[in-house]
Amino acid sequence: MDTLNSLFYFAVAVGLLVAVHEFGHFWVARKTGVKVLRFSIGFGKVIWKYQKNSASTEYVLSVIPLGGYVKMVDEREGEVSAADLPYAFTRKSLWARTAIVAAGPVFNLLLAVIIYWAVFMLGETGMRPLVGAVEPGTLVAQAGFVEGEEIVNVNNIRTVTWRETIETIMSSVMDAEQGLPVEVKTEDGVLLTHTLIIPFDVSQQPKRLFEELGLNAWQPPLPPVIGRVIENSVAAQAGLQPGDLIISADGIELTDWMDWVKYVQDHAGQVMNLLIERDGQALTIALKPESVIENEKITGKIGVGVQVPEGLQESMMVEYSLPPLQALQAAVERTVYYSGVTLKMMGYMFIGKASVENLSGPVSIAKYAGKSAEMGLVSFLKFLAIVSISLGVLNLLPIPVLDGGHLLMFAIEAIKGSPVSDNVQIVFQQIGMTALLALMALAMFLDIERLFQ
């Protein structure tokens, strides 16, 4: 079911983003007087098509939604009738052709602005970005973070929830080698700025980054009282019940829930003798935590959850939204920011400074689509915005086959005063196609490799 769910939302996402991209080409082509023969979403077998009459545009939907195209009257693709010559792409001015080609990626960037605008107006509920225990030697400790501080913004990007804070830090790691400004509010309400420095080699290894960063969400101190017991778990079989207070384990007094959790995790497969309090009476219980592998380490699990005092969870949550004009400004700023991040990452990968592990193929994108959809509408919309930005920026790169490659040819034409020869363009396209196929193959290889990790 998870796979089908991911595939469905992947198809929805790609279909929408491709449709917007191709509509950009289509709309500007029509506005500049170019005749459009076909507007197609997807490849492969045609499952639906519509054409008002033989002289109008044919609209096509195909079974594989991994791309699309807009077919215009173009002398390079075959003979054009005398009646259609005035409406041919090749007969239009340089600026009209440039606008048509640029419209696809520009529409993707505009879509991201619209999505973020909607997200900021809809609002979001999440956990407040409160800093948890700061372990000595971690990067946050070196930057001067203190437990209980609330993160206000990262790299001048407002962060209201914990998830948004982590996402912004992760997208800003390339700027963190020289210092990433993180503004926090202390428990006394004072605003401070910590400079987080993340070595570049650490930023390129996600697992190592999380370990060395040491940024944990704040956990309120809670007594070790059982709130729930999972059916058929080790705890259930041993007789633990909701409301039980853990007094000690193997004679070691426990006063905090997290100390109790750590004790269980460290005693996987070992018999533990517990002293508990139930309804005012002391009882002894023996149990052996189940051994499970988590983050490549063996850890103990017994299947219980903490009892959370009434109102505590609500106090740790935040709900926010922005009025239309502020939301629009924030949406533009967020789109510009992530466009810059995407461009910088692509540049670093091109010169070999960033790892190609940052590439994501269709398998990874499908997984992200499914996970974001499970988390709710706002999460899925954010996913759409990020992918739309990536698609827009990628297509603007001066790579043959992509829109940016065509724009490069137009720039050369503007400088030399005449179009680039067909032979040069053919060679240019062949090189670009080879490079693009190699990149796609690498992304697929990395996707498959991740499946077996």
Of 22, 149, 150, 164, catalytic = 22
Whole-number CA gyration radius for the chain: 28
In the predicted model, what is the mean pLDDT of the chain? 85
- Reference 86, options 17, 35, 157, 50; nearest CA is 35
pLDDT tens figures, 389-447: 988 998 898 887 789 888 988 898 898 888 877 777 777 677 766 766 666 665 555 55
Ramachandran angles phi, psi of 289, nearest 5°: -55, 140
Lowest average pLDDT, out of 115-129, 147-161, 200-214, 285-299, goes to 200-214
Beta bridge pairs of residue 300: 291
Ramachandran angles phi, psi of 419, nearest 5°: -60, 150
Q: Token digits for 352?
A: 């070999």
pLDDT tens figures, 1-55: 567 777 788 888 888 899 999 999 999 999 999 999 999 988 788 888 998 888 8
- Taking residues 124-129, report their average pLDDT: 86
Same fold, 124-218+316-320 and 226-309: yes
**Rounded-to-integer distance, Cα 153 and Cα 160, Å:** 8
pLDDT tens figures, 238-267: 999 999 999 999 999 999 998 999 999 999
Please spell the DSSP secondary structure of 327-347, one letter per residue: HHHHHHHHHHHHHHHHHHHHH
CATH topology assigned to domain 226-309: Pdz3 Domain (2.30.42)
**Rounded-to-integer distance, Cα 272 and Cα 261, Å:** 13
Output 433 or 142, whichever has higher pLDDT.
Answer: 142
pLDDT at 432: 65
pLDDT at 406: 87
**Rounded-to-integer distance, Cα 387 and Cα 82, Å:** 42
Element (H, E) at 42: strand 36-51
Task: Report whether 200 contacts 177 (CB < 8 A).
Answer: yes
Residues 6+ apart with CB under 8 A from 100: 25, 28, 29, 32, 34, 72, 89, 92
Q: Classify 293 as helix, strand or coil.
A: strand
Q: Token digits for 90?
A: 């090749």
pLDDT tens figures, 96-122: 999 999 999 999 999 999 999 999 998
Residue the block writes with tokens 């501080």:
149
**Rounded-to-integer distance, Cα 373 and Cα 10, Å:** 10
pLDDT at 318: 86
Question: Distances in Å between the alpha carbon of 177 and those of 166, 201, 204, 338, 354?
Answer: 17, 9, 11, 18, 13
Which residue ranges make up each domain of the chain?
Answer: 124-218+316-320, 226-309
CATH, range 124-218+316-320: 2.30.42.10
Give yes or no: 22 in active site.
yes
Task: Report whether 108 contacts 389 (CB < 8 A).
Answer: yes
Residue the block writes with tokens 């396209």:
429
